[in-house]
Amino acid sequence: MARVHTERYRIEPGKKVKRERWEPGDTSGFSGSEDEARNESAALDRKLDQLQEMLYAEHKHRVLIVLQAMDTGGKDGIIRRIFEGVNPSGVRVEHFREPTPEDLAHDFLWRVHPKVPANGEIVIFNRSHYEDVLVARVHKLVPREVWETRYRQINDFERALAEQNTTVLKFYLHIDKEEQKKRLQERLDDPNKEWKFSRDDLLERELWDEYMKAYEEAIEMTSTSWAPWYLVPGNHKWFRDLLVASVVVSHLEDFRMKYPRLPKSERTAKIS
């Protein structure tokens, strides 16, 4: 099988992120055809199923996957496509919507702490604590000095997770404005998808350039050795799915997990 070059999409600490250098339609990280990519994705799905079961059984490691994107960027698609075959007992999806009054009465990470993974779990954040340096910045919900301070607080929070045996993987699904226009129109044209459409999406679309600047800076400031960002070209769904699955499977393989063995007294039990 052709190899997926995942490291070229990993943002190294301190690296400048300029969107002009990142092509949303790029598929050069995979040398094969689209059909070969789909075959590779199917093989990764089977491997992920096995690794996730082992993760759950061994009960030692924790995995946090952060998904961020503009509207229609593919967060739901990634979750549905990559994690459809795993054991739901060990995988949890958390959504972070508009903060409640209770959330706002605490620090911005207060609502995040209870959602992080426990031993043996994979938790997927569909949007995340990064909304507090993205939406909060673009819509001027807090002063600049507040959201700028949050970069350091996020890095400290994620470092603490990593030091407690949590692997943190962050993916920005990068589409361009024309692709978003196409996908929004598809929602309007398809009766089975129109429920996803909201006029609020159009209001956010008008702030595209402001969001791009916010994403660039957030990724630059918070891609660390303990919690790296991957900038995933998202215009082609088949490549997006292949790249994310490859990264996740690679990290799970690095755990070198084993199924736990029963004590000898249990293994010799007689079943009548």
Amino acid at 9: Y
Total-model pTM = 0.94
pLDDT number for residue 3:
78
- pLDDT score, position 56: 95
Q: Residues of the chain with pLDDT > 90: what percent?
A: 82
Can you give the pLDDT at residue 97? 87
The pLDDT assigned to 57 comes to 95
Give the pLDDT score at 16: 87
CATH number of 7-257: 3.40.50.300
Residues of the chain with pLDDT under 50: 1
Residue 2: the pLDDT is 57
Tell me, what's the pLDDT at 262? 83
The pLDDT of residue 22? 83
Give, as one character, the DSSP assignment of residue 155. H
> How many angstroms separate the CA atoms of 1 and 41, rounded?
11
3-class secondary-structure state, position 77:
helix
CB atoms inside a 10 Å sphere around CB 59: 13
Which residue has tokens 């949007």?
Answer: 127
- Kindly state the DSSP code that residue 198 receives in the 8-state scheme: -
- How far is 70 from 47, CA to CA, in rounded Å? 29
Contact predicate 243/4, CB 8 Å: yes
